[in-house]
A and B are shown apart, each in its own frame.
Chain A
């Protein structure tokens, strides 16, 4: 293998599993260390730089970082990354003086954002400080998109949501509420804007067209519309017996909301078995904690109407097996009638763009979705951009934020006459953490403690009021315990081959057999010849330059390194050092971080 180029920022970035998995590349280990130091405000601001809504996300994020966490591979349970984010948000001081501001003198460019969800808000956040005049059109009376209308208050208190949106809107964003854009053509024809961003989400709840649907309509609710109606106070009760159809995260919010609106017997009806559930494990846990029953392998057959009113549903009881093509197919075993007063449909969302004319240069492709460039977020019409759930279907808040950042870069380029394909490069800082012979600027001692459990408001109280936040958050003791579980994956083992005397000390001391000194070879072969076979192909192998004495190479399998620093402590020549890696992520209006000579990759991984 060729020597690894650790001067490409993406090499060390990939080692920081959580940061690599985070769509917005939040610097997780650094924010956790700041929390450990009691520097909550700095931790909050570091979060905000990449994910914009730390308070909101610290409660609701989909957490792609957690399954990726190194701790899962080393032990089992990830660091409670998301809950620690909430600690930073809850304990921060007033940050208003630290927030970006918009300059008084504008740059003369006007940008329209359609929809006031997290995607549009992020675009506004990035463009306002650069002097853009940002105008948002929102169909509803308040901002936030699904964060407001669909995520129930018992998961995300409204004041938390509003405070963080205000940080952006208060920069002077012009917002037109109750203004649904009905024709994109009309807007473009007016020629008022230099660029337009579409952040309208995936607003249509999926239907379940089976017999009885029309007749029972009064007691059948489309999940996302129903949650919105609850949010705006149009609905405040439900029947005692509720069936929620579907087992994704929307279903979890629907069943838990039902429980708070007076439902007593609530069943979530899943077509498949547990391993196929779409809901996040923690949301399932929370629902079951609230005494909600989940029935598996029940496929809806029909709604049953008696005396003109919904009486319940008939389900096929099915069994799933793989066919020859490896696809799951169901076989009906039986059927069952389950009585119900109300049914909530939570089986997915669709996009809908009836307000975008098909003859204005915006090409539509599969599923009647606009064709959007994956890197630039531009449609086939120059100057029109799409992001968030509107781009490629329902995702989550953190993806909407990252889309917003990338679209803002494109919009800025576009307005300044730079090709949108010219993306500013990522950069990095590497700073040694060495403090003394065997002392480091981070806590390198490994804490074998289990993940800290979340505590909740006592059940009866929690269910009595829609607005009571269910999770209590970590207290200081729990925080202190959990921060130590982080393995500081951003503190990198950085190697200088010409210093190595091949004493083997690092190889011998490594607790997880990461290091090997051996003869170089092809990757497949090398992976088998290490202290332990490197079988996780998602994780990189580091290969050094030839070592001075024997011309062998130092190889590191990044997979299980716990960043304990013992290799560097036992190295007599400081060939290994523990250096803190700080990914410099480019945002709109920023020059590339590195000179072209040092430049690594320019695209977001």
Chain B
């Protein structure tokens, strides 16, 4: 852990966004994670994405559970709201917060232990409800915080630091999310910000549950030879299925693509996500085909990355529940709490 605070000195040429803020204004406190932890790079990518999206810090809500990954909300956007929940329970907190105030921007940070073991049920239901949030799973194949036990995402044959091989089959969160009907499913790598940042931006702009599985190596317990979640293994076996370009609302679309290779998806706020297929048989809107394709890639021992599936027309939790448009905090007290006579009136319906 570093004892000094990050110097306040800044590069004079540091870019400023529409709010006049620099990326450094979106930082949090110094990380207390192990030096070199992939999670810190994901934090840096989030800072970049949030900066580029011109987010007002007080409009952001950061939520997490327990784990090294779940500690990271402390390390970005110090002026945002935050809630560090019980292990695996972040999705419930996110759903509750989102129900109360639908106007804020929600980002949940979780780990493979937090989401795929103790919090698996919570994770599944958040997908089903289609809670409007960006959900980042920092996936390192171990419980980092508790000293490196295999997690539910560890591959068969992947070895622990002590050399013991894992024998139970993994839960692939991308597969799971797809089969549960998630409308935005992506996988990326902490060591590839060029890919990760546009995906995070698109995820923030997605109307509904945007799931991003980020391979994020645990440098202390799972970065050795024999691990399938190490920096070296991930780099060697990464298979980029689709390249993502995020074009914010009102910006000019500069990149041009050969016909048939790219597809533009307009997000609900008007910004555009451009998807360039590396393999032109791939269709990121055909759920069944995507599942098949990913299965094939996985059997070759490769890791598919990119914004793998996107469906921008779905209804989110507020749609299902037919909730009021206004955040509860902005409703007049009389409307929010109409009094005991109104309650009595309501109760008549059920008696």
Q: In the complex, which of the residues B8, B13, B232 contacts A549, with contact meaning CB atoms closer than 8 Å?
A: B232
B18 touches A (CB below 8 Å): no
Asked if A445 is at the interface (CB within 8 A of a chain B CB), the reply is yes
Q: Tell me, in angstroms, the Cα distance from A562 to B40 when the chains sit together.
A: 21
The CA-CA distance from A420 to B54 in the complex, in Å, is 64
* Residue picked from B7, B13, B190, most chain A C-beta under 10 Å: B7
The answer to whether A305 has its CB under 8 Å from any CB of chain B is no
Q: A residues within 8 A CB of B11?
A: 512-513, 532, 560
Knowing A446-B4, A446-B8, the reply to whether A549 touches B36 (Cβ < 8 A) is no
B35 and A569 contacting across the interface, CB-CB below 8 Å: yes
The answer to whether the Cβ of A74 comes within 8 Å of any Cβ in the partner chain is: yes
Verify if A77 is at the interface (C-beta below 8 Å from B).
Answer: no
The reply to whether A508 and B41 form a contact with Cβ atoms under 8 Å apart is yes
Once the chains are docked, how many angstroms separate the CA of A501 from the CA of B222?
13
Chain B residues whose CB sits within 8 angstroms of the CB of A336 once the complex forms: none
Minimum CB–CB distance for B161 against chain A, Å: 14
B9 near A504 with CB under 8 A, answer no
In the complex, per-residue mask of B23-43: 1 if CB is within 8 Å of any chain A CB, else 0: 010000001001111101101
Q: Is the CB of A448 within 8 A of B41?
A: no
> Does residue A380 face the partner (Cβ distance < 8 Å to B)?
no
* Residues 561-598 of A at the B interface (beta carbon under 8 Å): 562, 564, 566, 569-573
Q: A438-B2, A571-B35 are in contact. Are A505 and B7 (CB under 8 A)?
A: no
Asked if A560 contacts B9 (CB within 8 A), the reply is yes
> Are A573 and B36 within 8 A (Cβ)?
yes
Q: Give A549 to B44 CA distance when docked, in angstroms.
A: 21
B350 CB–A CB distance under 8 Å: no
Could you tell me the distance in whole angstroms from the C-beta of B52 to the nearest C-beta in chain A? 14
Is B9 in contact with A74, judged by CB distance below 8 angstroms?
Answer: yes
Residue among A75, A502, A508, A566 with the highest chain B CB neighbour number at 10 A = A508
Q: Tell me the complex Cα distance, A508–B6, Å.
A: 11
For chain B, residues 6 to 24, give those with C-beta under 8 angstroms from any C-beta of chain A: 6-11, 13-14, 24
How many residues of A sit at the interface, in one of the four size bands? 20 to 34
Would you call A511 and B36 a contact (CB within 8 A)? no
Q: B193 within 8 Å of A by Cβ?
A: yes
With both chains docked as a complex, state the minimum distance between the C-beta of A146 and any C-beta of chain B, in angstroms: 40
Distance A532 CA – B15 CA, assembled complex (angstroms) = 9
**CB-based contact B3/A513 at 8 Å:** no
The distance in angstroms between the C-alpha atoms of A569 and B36, with both chains bound, is 10
A509 contacts the other chain (CB 8 A)? yes
B13 touches A535 (CB 8 A): yes
Q: Which residues of chain A are within 8 angstroms of B219 by Cβ–Cβ distance?
A: 501, 503, 572
Q: What separation, in Å, do the CA atoms of A249 and B231 have in the docked complex?
A: 61
In the bound complex, what is the Cα–Cα distance between A448 and B9 (angstroms)? 8
* Contact of A566 with B4 at beta-carbon distance under 8 Å, contacts A502-B191, A513-B11, A550-B235 already known: yes
Complex-state Cα separation, A279 to B142, whole angstroms: 66
Q: Is the CB of B6 within 8 A of A570?
A: no
Give the shortest distance, in Å, between A70 (CB) and chain B (any CB). Answer: 10
Partner of A503, one of B10, B24, B191: B191
Option from A446, A509, A533 in Cβ contact (under 8 Å) with B9: A446
B336 within 8 A of A: no
Report how far A108 CA is from B9 CA in the complex, Å: 58
Would you call B44 and A502 a contact (CB within 8 A)? no
Cα distance A45–B256 in the bound complex, in angstroms: 66
Whole-angstrom distance between the Cβ of A518 and the nearest chain B Cβ: 10
Beta-carbon contact of B6 and A445 below 8 Å:
no
Instruction: Bits for B130-153, please: 1 = Cβ < 8 Å to A, else 0.
Output: 000000000000000000000000
C-alpha gap A505/B216 in the complex (Å): 12
CA–CA, A502 and B10, complex, Å: 24
Does B316 sit within 8 A of A, measured CB to CB? no
8 Å CB interface, B98-116 against A: none
Residue pair A502, B231 in contact (C-beta under 8 Å) = yes
Report chain A residues within 8 Å CB of B36.
Answer: 501, 503, 505, 570-573
Most B C-beta atoms less than 10 A away, residue of A74, A503, A560, A564: A503
Give the residues in chain A near B44, CB-CB below 8 Å.
504, 507-508
CB pair B35–A533 under 8 Å, yes or no, is no
A549 to B34, CA, bound (A): 21
Q: Which of A525-583 contact B (CB under 8 A)?
A: 532-533, 535, 549-550, 560, 562, 564, 566, 569-573
Is the pair B232, A509 in contact by a Cβ cutoff of 8 Å? Answer: no
The answer on a CB contact under 8 Å between A511 and B9 is yes
Closest to A447 in B: B7
| A interface secondary structure, majority | loop
Q: For A75, A439, A502, which residue has the most chain B Cβ atoms within 10 angstroms?
A: A502
Would you call B35 and A572 a contact (CB within 8 A)? Answer: yes
B13–A532 CB distance below 8 A: yes
For A512, list chain B residues within 8 Å (CB): 7, 9-11
Residues of A within 8 A of B7 (CB): 446, 448, 511-512, 562, 564, 566
B 253-297 to A, binary, CB cutoff 8 A, 1 in contact else 0: 000000000000000000000000000000000000000000000
Q: Which residues of B contact A535 (CB under 8 A)?
A: 13
Query: How far, in whole Å, are A532 and B24 apart by their CA atoms in the complex?
Result: 13
* CB-based contact A505/B41 at 8 Å: yes
Does B13 lie within 8 Å of A533, measured CB to CB? yes
A297 within 8 A of B: no
A550 to B189, CA, bound (A): 14
| B294 → chain A closest CB, angstroms | 24
| Interface residue B223 (Cβ < 8 Å from any Cβ of A) | yes
Query: Complex formed: what's the CA distance from A560 to B43 in Å?
Result: 24
Cα A508 to Cα B41 in complex, Å, equals 7
Given A502-B231, A571-B36, A572-B35, A511 and B10 touching (CB < 8 A)? yes
Residues on the A chain within 8 Å of B41, using CB: 503-505, 508
Q: Which chain B positions have C-beta within 8 A of A502?
A: 191, 231, 235
B251 at the interface (CB under 8 A from A): no
Pair A511/B4 contact, Cβ less than 8 Å: no
Query: Which of B9, B14, B34 gathers the greatest number of chain A CB atoms within 10 Å?
Result: B9
- Residues from chain A with Cβ under 8 Å of B220 in the complex: 572
Report if A452 contacts B (CB, 8 A).
Answer: no
Q: Is the CB of A444 within 8 A of B6?
A: no
Q: Does B88 contact A (CB under 8 A)?
A: no
Q: For residue B68, give the distance in angstroms from its CB to the closest CB of chain A.
A: 14
B1 at the interface (CB under 8 A from A): yes
Chain B, residues 172-195, CB within 8 Å of chain A (1/0): the string is: 000000000000000000110100
Contacts of B191 in A (CB 8 A): 502-504
* CB neighbours of A532 from chain B (8 A): 11, 13-14
Q: Are B1 and A438 interface neighbours, CB within 8 A? A: yes
A residues near B35, Cβ cutoff 8 Å: 505, 569-572
* A246–chain B nearest beta-carbon distance, Å: 36
B-side contacts of A507, CB under 8 Å: 44
Residues of A within 8 A of B223 (CB): 501
Q: Report the separation of the CA atoms of residues A505 and B38 in the bound assembly, to the nearest whole angstrom.
A: 8
Q: What is the CA–CA distance of A9 and B7 in the complex, to the nearest angstrom?
A: 28
**Chain A hits for B14, CB < 8 A:** 513, 532
CA distance A560 to B44 in the complex (A): 20
Q: Quick check: B2 and A562 within 8 Å, CB to CB?
A: no
For the complex of A and B, the 10 pairs showing the least CB-CB separation, nearest first, are A572-B36, A446-B7, A508-B44, A445-B4, A503-B36, A513-B11, A511-B7, A504-B41, A572-B35, A570-B35
**30 A–B pairs (Cβ distance < 8 Å), ordered by A:** A448-B8, A501-B219, A501-B223, A501-B231, A502-B231, A503-B36, A503-B38, A503-B41, A503-B190, A503-B191, A503-B219, A503-B231, A504-B44, A505-B41, A508-B40, A508-B44, A509-B6, A509-B31, A509-B40, A511-B6, A512-B9, A512-B11, A513-B14, A532-B13, A535-B13, A566-B6, A566-B7, A570-B40, A572-B35, A573-B36
Residues of B near any A CB (own CB < 8 A): 1-11, 13-14, 24, 31, 34-38, 40-41, 43-44, 190-191, 193, 217, 219-220, 223, 231-232, 235
12 additional A-B residue pairs with CB within 8 Å, beyond A446-B7, A562-B9, A564-B4 = A438-B3, A446-B8, A503-B36, A503-B231, A504-B40, A504-B190, A505-B37, A505-B41, A507-B44, A549-B232, A566-B2, A570-B35
